[in-house]
Structure 1
Amino acid sequence: MNQNAEFDYLVIGAGAAGCVVASRLSEDSDVSVCLLEAGGPDTHPLVHMPAGVAAMVPTSINNWQFQTVPQSGLNGRIGYQPRGKTLGGSSSINAMAYHRGHPLDFDRWAELGNPGWRYDEVLPLFKRAEHNEYFKDPLHGQDGPLNVRFHSSPNPFGETFVEAGIEAGYPACPDQNGATMEGFGRVQVMQKDGQRCSAAKAYLTPNRHRPNLTVETHAHATRILFDGKRAVGVEFMQNGVTRTLYARHELILSSGAFNSPHLLMLSGVGPKDQLLAFDIPVVHELPGVGQNLVDHIDYVHSYRVKSRQLIGLSLAGVWDMTKAAIRYWRKRSGPLTTNFAEACAFVKTAPELAQADIELALTIAMFADHGRTLYRGHGLSVHACLLHPKSIGQLTLASADPRVPPLIDPAFLTHRDDISTLIKGYRVIEKLMATPAFKAFNPQSVIDAPMNTDAEIEQVLRNRSDTLYHPVGTCKMGNDAMAVVDARLKVHGLEGLRVVDASIMPTIIGCSTTAATVMIGEQAAGFIRQDRETTLARDRHETHHPA
C-alpha cells in the first residue's frame, strides 16, 4: 500500500465492532475500506482453541495487559485489565459467552435521549448477526455470520450447577437470550465446529478476498488527523515506521473503551485542561471523553473437588489434558472446547427488582487473579458479578506519548451500594454450595479467611475481586454535556468521525458485552450506509438540478 493512500472509510481497531463495520461496509463494491489493527493476525492456535482463553488472559499473548491505578475500593490493589490485541480484539481472547442483555438495558439507553436504541429496535440487529444452532424462534437469527451454540462437549458440572440453583429455589432458564434472562442455565457460546467464532472469524475471515477491503495489522494508531473540525486521516506506527492514511468520507474509531478515548485525547479531542497539561493542541473541547467508565466487578470463590472431570493441576490431570489435546486436534471435540465458564445464572438479590443484579458463573477449574495464581489439585470456581454497578470511574492521560498507556480508574466498589449487593451475591454462592447437588462432591473452600459476618465477607471481597473484562462508557452516547457521540454515533462537534465500540454505551448492560458490541457494529454500519445513500441522492439531485 502506498504511503498517504486514501480510502472511502478508515476503521481504526479490529475488535468486535470494527470487524463488523469493515465487513458490512465492504459488502458495497463501490466503496473502499481499510481496517487498522494494532495487534497481529489471529493466527495463533490458542485463539481458535476455546480453552486457549486460560493461556491468553493472564499473559501477553494477543493481550494489551492494561492495569488500573490503585483502587481504594479494592484496599489499594492495582487491578488487571486484559484486552484483546489481535484481529477480533477481545472477542479473540475472551470466554466466548453469548449474552445479549435484558430488554431494559437498551430501553434505558433510549430513555436517556438516544432514539433507535430500544430493545425492539436493536433485536433485529442481534438477529442479523446471529446464527443460532439450537434456537429457531422469533427471538433468534439463523442467517448471521456469528455462530452461537451450546458446548459440543459439555462438562457434567454445568448440569450440577443448574441443579443446585433449582434446589436453592431459583428458576431454570434454558435460553438466557430468550423471553427471560433470569435463572440458571448453560452458557451459549460463540463457537463453530469446536473452535472459537470471534468477530474476526465470523466477519473478516470469509471476506478477506474482497478487493475493496484492506486489512493492516501491527498498525498502532497514534493520532487522528483533522482539517479544521473534520477528521480526514490517521497517523499510525507500523513495524517502526510512521505512516499516514486518509479517508474520503469517514473515520470509524473502534478501538475499545480504553484505546478509543485515549486516541481521541492524543488527537486533541477531550477535556481541555487535560490536553493542555500535556501540551496537546486542542482540536475540540469535549469534556466527556474518558469519563463515565463503568465495569463489572467480579468475585471468584474456588473449591477443591476430587473429580478428574474438573480441570486441575495433578499428574493425572496432565495425562487427561494430553489425551484431550490429541482429541481436540483430531476431532475438534472434548475438554479443550470448553470456555471454562460453562453455566451461569442471572439472579435478583431482592424480589422487587426489575431485573437481575447479580450474575453467578461456574468455571470448571480453580482460578484466582485471572488465572495468574493456580492451585494444586482439581476443583471449580463460582463467580459473583455485580451487573449494574453504581461506581463510576474515568480514563485519563498519563503522557502525550501514544506508547504510554492511559491511567485507568474504574473506581471499583467505591459506591456503598455496590459492596452491599456483592455481599448478597456471595451469600447466594454459599446457598448454592450447601445444596445436595454440590454437597455430594464435598467441596472444600480454598479461602482460609473468615467469611461469616458481612464485615468479614466485605474484606475478602475487597481483597480478591477484580474486573470481569467489560469496560464501557468512556465515549458515551447521548445529548447531555458529558456525551461524546450522538445517537448515530457521530462525535459531537466534529465531522467525518464516529466512535463504534463498547465505549459508547451510556450505561452498562447486565451481562457480557461482546454480543452487544457486535450489535453496535451492525447498527453503525446501517447508519453509515444510510448517510452514504443520502449523500449520493443529494449529489444526483444537484447534478440534475444545478442552482
Structure 2
Amino acid sequence: MSDNNKAQGHAETFDYIVVGAGSAGCLMANRLSADPSNRVLLIEAGGRDNYHWIHIPVGYLYCIDNPRTDWRFRTEPDPGLNGRSLIYPRGKTLGGCSSINGMLYIRGQARDYNQWAEVTGEDDWNWDNCLPDFMRHEDHYRLDPNGDADPEHRNYHGHGGEWRVEHQRLKWQVLEDFAEACVEAGVPRTRDFNRGDNEGVDYFEVNQRGGWRWNTSKAFLRAAEKRPNLTLWHSTQVQNLETRGSGEGSRCTGVRVQRPGQGEVTARASREVILCAGAIGSPQLLQLSGIGPADLLQAHDIPVVRDLPGVGENLQDHLQIRSVYRIQGATTLNTMANSLLGKARIGLEYLLTRSGPMSMAPSQLCLFTRSSAEYDYANIEYHVQPLSLDAFGQPLHDFPAITASVCNLNPTSRGTVRIRSADPAQAPAIAPNYLSTPEDRKVAADSLRITRRLAEQPAFAKYQPEEYKPGLQYQTDDELAKLAGDIGTTIFHPVGTTRMGRDDDPMAVVDPHLRVRGVAGLRVVDAGIMPTITSGNTNAPTLMIAEKAARWILAGH
C-alpha cells in the first residue's frame, strides 16, 4: 500500500477514490481493493490511529474534543436547548468515529429498514435484505467455539468477519439490580438487541477484542495494507470535488486536496468518487463543490454545479436526557476512582487482565422500552452507567451514584448542516433543532417519568435513590420539556443530511443505490444517506450501508 509519506509529484488517476477513512470508508476501501485490478485511493484528513488512548476503551474521555482525534465541531445555539450550544464530536483519524465512539453494537429495529425500503422503493433496504449485510463482516463472540449461542443465533449473527463483537468484561451489582427493577416495571429480559425487535434490558455488546477497542482501521484497513492497489493519503484535507459540466449532465472526475509538504494536488477517478466523510463532512464537501441548495451556494459565490436542495437538510440526532440518582450501600465508579489508591487498582486490573473500569464502554446497561402506552414498539433507549458527573469532561461526583440517560429513538425534529463560506477550513454551521416539535417535547417529558418509575421499583429502591439531577420539583409536561432543553445532550448520532429517496422526491440527495442525483461518478456512503434515524446507536448501521454499497459497486463494474 502506498502511504501518505510517499511523494506524489503529479496528478494520479485511480479507479475509485474514497473520501474519509472512518467507519464506512475503511470497509469500502477494503472491499474495493480486494479485487487486484481496482486501483483505490483512500483519503483521510486526520492522522494515523497511533494515539494510545484510541485503543484503551475508557480513552474516549481523552479523544473526544481533542484536536488530535476530533474535528471539535460545535452546534449553533439551539432554541430547543434554551439557547445552549453543544460539542459535536466527529472522528478525525483513521477509523473515524469508530476510534472515539462508545463501541456499542446496536443495529436498530426491523421497522427502521422496512421504512427505508418503503421510502426508496428499493426492497434491498428492508430488514430481511439488510440482515446478510450486517452478518457479512460480523465476528460475534457467542459463535466462538466456546460461545453460548442459542439455536437461532446463527440466523442473526455472523462469525469470522472483520468486525468483532464481544461481551463487556465487567458487571456491577447496582446495574444488575437496576435491570431487575426494569423487569419489575414490565420490561422483558433479552439476550440479543439485534434481531429486529430490541425491546428489553441487558448489557450492551461492544466492539472490542480482548479488552481493547476494535476500530474499523484495525478491522478493515490493516488487512488491506499490503495490497499494492490501495493507496492511503492520511493527514490530507479534501478541498473540493472536481467536476465537469453542470446540471443533469455533470460528472465528478476527482478531488482536489491539500497534501503535507506538497500543497494542492488533484487526484482523478476513472469510475467513481465515494464520499464516506459522514453526516457532517459529506454535505459540507458537496456544498463546497457546488452541489447543494442553489441559494446557499450563490450566497457564498460558489458556482452551482447541481442544485440539490436536500444537501445538508434533514439532520437527525438522538438527544439524551440524563437523570442522576444518588444512592446508598453500593459500590460505583465514583467511589472507586476518587482516590489515588482506587485509580492505581483500576490501572493494575486493566494491565493484568484487560478488564475492570478501564475496559468500560461509556455505557454498560442497555434498555429499550416505550415512553407511553400509545407506542406499540420501543421508542426510547437508556444508557445506564455506574457513575455520575455534572457534564462530560467534569470530575466524578464524590458520592455513590448511577446515571440513567434516556433518548427518543425516532425524533421528528429536523436540523441542518450548512457551510458558512467557501473556505474548506471553516467548520459548517450545525443546527440540530432539538425538541422543535410537540411530539419530541412530549416524549422527553414522558421518558423522564419512565425513569422515575424504574427507580421506584423494589430491586432498586433498596439503595434509597435520591434524584440528584434533574430533581423531583419538575413534574408537569411543560416543566419537564423545558428541563430537557436545559440538560439534554447529544449521543453523537447525526444522520440524514444526504438522504436517499425516489427520483420524484425533490429533497432526496442520492438514489436508492446511493448515487448522487444528476451527478455521474459520485456516491455518498455514510450515515448521511439514512432517510430516518435508526432506533439505536448508528455505527453498526453505517457499516451495513457500506457493505451493501460495496457489493453494488463491485457488481456494477
Q: Same fold (TM over 0.5)?
A: yes
Give the drift of 1:415: 0.3
The equivalent position to 1:177 in structure 2, one of 167, 185, 194, is 194
The equivalent position to 1:119 in structure 2, one of 114, 127, 130, is 127
Q: Give the letter aligned to residue 223 of structure 1.
A: N
Task: Kindly indicate whether residue 451 of structure 2 is the aligned counterpart of residue 429 of structure 1.
Answer: yes
Note if contact 1:26-1:213 (Cα within 8 Å) is conserved in structure 2.
yes
CA distance in 2, matches of 1:53, 1:439: 32
Q: Give the letter aligned to residue 233 of structure 1.
A: G
Q: Give the letter aligned to residue 132 of structure 2.
A: P
Task: Kindly indicate whether residue 454 of structure 2 is the aligned counterpart of residue 454 of structure 1.
Answer: no
The CA RMSD measured in Å over matched residues stands at 1.8
Cα-to-partner distance string for 1:470-527 (whole Å, 9 max, x where unaligned): 1111000012101010111100001111000000001111100000000011011001
Q: Provide closer, same or farther for how the CA distance between residues 530 and 456 of structure 1 changes in structure 2, counting only shifts above 3 A.
A: same
Note if contact 1:300-1:367 (Cα within 8 Å) is conserved in structure 2.
no
The equivalent position to 1:478 in structure 2, one of 479, 483, 501, is 501
Q: Provide closer, same or farther for how the CA distance between residues 253 and 425 of structure 1 changes in structure 2, counting only shifts above 3 A.
A: same
Task: Using the TM superposition, name which of 189-198 and 237-246 deviates more.
Answer: 237-246
Task: Kindly indicate whether residue 260 of structure 2 is the aligned counterpart of residue 239 of structure 1.
Answer: yes
| 1:265-304 mapped onto 2 (5 Å cutoff) | 265-304=287-326
Give SS of 2:496's match. Answer: coil
Task: Using the TM superposition, name which of 30-39 and 437-446 deviates more.
Answer: 437-446
CA distance in 2, matches of 1:314, 1:99: 29
Task: Using the TM superposition, name which of 132-141 and 283-292 deviates more.
Answer: 132-141
Give SS of 1:110's match. Answer: helix
CA distance in 2, matches of 1:82, 1:141: 30
Q: Give the letter aligned to residue 414 of structure 1.
A: S
Note if contact 2:108-2:196 (Cα within 8 Å) is conserved in structure 1.
no
Cα-to-partner distance string for 1:199-255 (whole Å, 9 max, x where unaligned): 222111222122211222111111010122111111122336222211121110000
Note if contact 1:340-1:365 (Cα within 8 Å) is conserved in structure 2.
no
Task: Using the TM superposition, name which of 280-289 and 205-214 deviates more.
Answer: 205-214
CA distance in 2, matches of 1:118, 1:314: 46
Give SS of 1:137's match. Answer: helix
1:526 corresponds to: 551
Q: Give the letter aligned to residue 493 of structure 1.
A: G
CA distance in 2, matches of 1:166, 1:26: 48
Task: Using the TM superposition, name which of 426-435 and 455-464 deviates more.
Answer: 455-464
Give the drift of 1:315: 6.9
| 1:113-512 mapped onto 2 (5 Å cutoff) | 113-115=120-122, 116-134=124-142, 135=149, 136-178=153-195, 180-228=197-245, 229-239=250-260, 241-305=263-327, 309-312=331-334, 316-372=338-394, 374-447=396-469, 449=471, 450-479=473-502, 480-512=505-537
Unaligned 5+ segments in structure 2 are 1-6, 143-148
Give the drift of 1:448: 6.2
Equivalent pairs counted in the alignment come to 532
Give the drift of 1:433: 1.3
Task: Using the TM superposition, name which of 359-368 and 511-520 deviates more.
Answer: 359-368
Q: Provide closer, same or farther for how the CA distance between residues 231 and 182 of structure 1 changes in structure 2, counting only shifts above 3 A.
A: same
Q: Give the letter aligned to residue 455 of structure 1.
A: D
CA distance in 2, matches of 1:517, 1:184: 24
Cα-to-partner distance string for 1:117-166 (whole Å, 9 max, x where unaligned): 01111100000021111244211111211011211223333322311101
Task: Using the TM superposition, name which of 478-487 and 169-178 deviates more.
Answer: 169-178
2:32 corresponds to: 25
CA distance in 2, matches of 1:113, 1:459: 36
CA distance in 1, matches of 2:457, 2:36: 59
CA distance in 2, matches of 1:390, 1:281: 33
Task: Using the TM superposition, name which of 367-376 and 276-285 deviates more.
Answer: 367-376
CA distance in 2, matches of 1:323, 1:124: 43
CA distance in 2, matches of 1:528, 1:154: 43
Q: Give the letter aligned to residue 126 of structure 1.
A: F
CA distance in 1, matches of 2:76, 2:272: 34
Q: Give the letter aligned to residue 518 of structure 1.
A: L
Note if contact 2:337-2:343 (Cα within 8 Å) is conserved in structure 1.
no
Note if contact 1:57-1:370 (Cα within 8 Å) is conserved in structure 2.
no
Note if contact 2:65-2:71 (Cα within 8 Å) is conserved in structure 1.
no
Task: Kindly indicate whether residue 41 of structure 2 is the aligned counterpart of residue 34 of structure 1.
Answer: yes
Task: Using the TM superposition, name which of 164-173 and 232-241 deviates more.
Answer: 232-241
Unaligned 5+ segments in structure 1 are 533-547
CA distance in 1, matches of 2:317, 2:332: 29
Give SS of 1:419's match. Answer: helix
Give the drift of 1:351: 3.6
Cα-to-partner distance string for 1:78-124 (whole Å, 9 max, x where unaligned): 12211111111111101111011100000000101241101111100
Q: Provide closer, same or farther for how the CA distance between residues 256 and 316 of structure 1 changes in structure 2, counting only shifts above 3 A.
A: closer
Give SS of 2:125's match. Answer: coil
Q: Give the letter aligned to residue 457 of structure 1.
A: L
CA distance in 1, matches of 2:269, 2:82: 46
TM-score (norm 1): 0.94
Give SS of 2:35's match. Answer: coil
Identity among equivalent pairs (%): 38
TM-score (norm 2): 0.92
